[in-house]
């Protein structure tokens, strides 16, 4: 399941503009600043293939990256970025949701959740929307390297993950598959790549 090569293909702002070669793809979605672009870089072992930033709102388009000339990783804009202009927020939200609903070669969405902070309602709502629309989903907990600090509620990533899982179970009755990750230590990288290769071969 190793990555041999990865290339940026294109940025799109409408599902219609996305590549049309029908190759299987996986999309990374989650709150702004949760670490989508960083995780993509970790998966393909490149430092700056996808652009990252300390400030939320960095990724603003649907960005397709082709891996091993045979499948796509898709970096998306985050949701819940309160400081972006309302019009821009509505627009990103609309085209990402349209993308989920219309993209036929989308094998699974990887919903990223920040494990260094307590569970957020907006993430539960997003998971619930994906579930209601029958979009296949894998949960990815990010920033598992960040140890407890007063400012994040003094909880360990494992405790935040447990709380999130139990809330998700209340919503869904069952929890989707989930993986703990860090783009700093590359924790979870091989597990995600293996999971993606299993999903492609179904």
Q: Which residues contact 46 (CB under 8 A, 6 or more apart)?
A: 6
3-state helix, strand, coil in the chain (%, to 5): 35, 20, 45
CB of residue 173 to ligand GTP, shortest distance in Å: 28
Collapsing DSSP to helix, strand or coil, 132 comes out as: helix
Q: Which residues contact 201 (CB under 8 A, 6 or more apart)?
A: none
The smaller minimum CB distance to ligand GTP, of residues 120 and 200, is found at 120
Q: Which residues here bind Mg ion, judged by CB under 5 A?
A: 36-37, 58-59
54 binds, among ligand GTP, Mg ion, none (CB under 5 to 8 A by kind): ligand GTP
The smaller minimum CB distance to ligand GTP, of residues 67 and 84, is found at 84
CB of residue 152 to ligand GTP, shortest distance in Å: 11
CB of residue 37 to Mg ion, shortest distance in Å: 3
CA distance 109 to 88: 23
63 binds, among Mg ion, ligand GTP, none (CB under 5 to 8 A by kind): none
Question: CB nearest ligand GTP: which residue?
Answer: 78
CB of residue 88 to ligand GTP, shortest distance in Å: 12
Q: Parallel, antiparallel, or unpaired for β 137-142 and 106-114?
A: parallel
């Amino acid at each position: 399941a190793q990555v041999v090569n990865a290339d940026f293909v294109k940025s799109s702002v409408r599902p219609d503009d996305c590549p049309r070669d029908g190759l299987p793809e996986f999309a990374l979605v989650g709150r702004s600043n949760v670490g989508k672009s960083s995780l993509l870089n970790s998966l393909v072992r490149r430092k700056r293939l996808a652009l990252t930033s300390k400030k939320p709102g960095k990724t603003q388009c649907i960005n397709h990256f082709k891996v091993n000339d045979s499948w796509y990783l898709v970096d998306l804009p985050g949701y819940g970025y309160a400081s972006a202009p309302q019009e821009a927020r509505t627009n990103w939200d609309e085209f990402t949701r349209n993308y989920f609903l219309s993209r036929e070669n989308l094998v699974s969405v990887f919903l990223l959740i920040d494990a260094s902070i307590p569970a957020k309602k907006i993430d539960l709502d997003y998971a619930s929307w994906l579930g209601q629309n029958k979009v296949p989903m894998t949960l990815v907990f990010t920033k598992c390297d960040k140890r407890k600090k007063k400012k994040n509620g003094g909880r360990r990533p494992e405790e935040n993950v447990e709380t999130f899982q139990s809330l998700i179970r209340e919503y869904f009755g069952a929890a989707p598959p989930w993986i703990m990750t860090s783009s700093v230590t590359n924790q979870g990288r091989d597990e995600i790549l293996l999971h993606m290769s299993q999903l492609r071969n179904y």
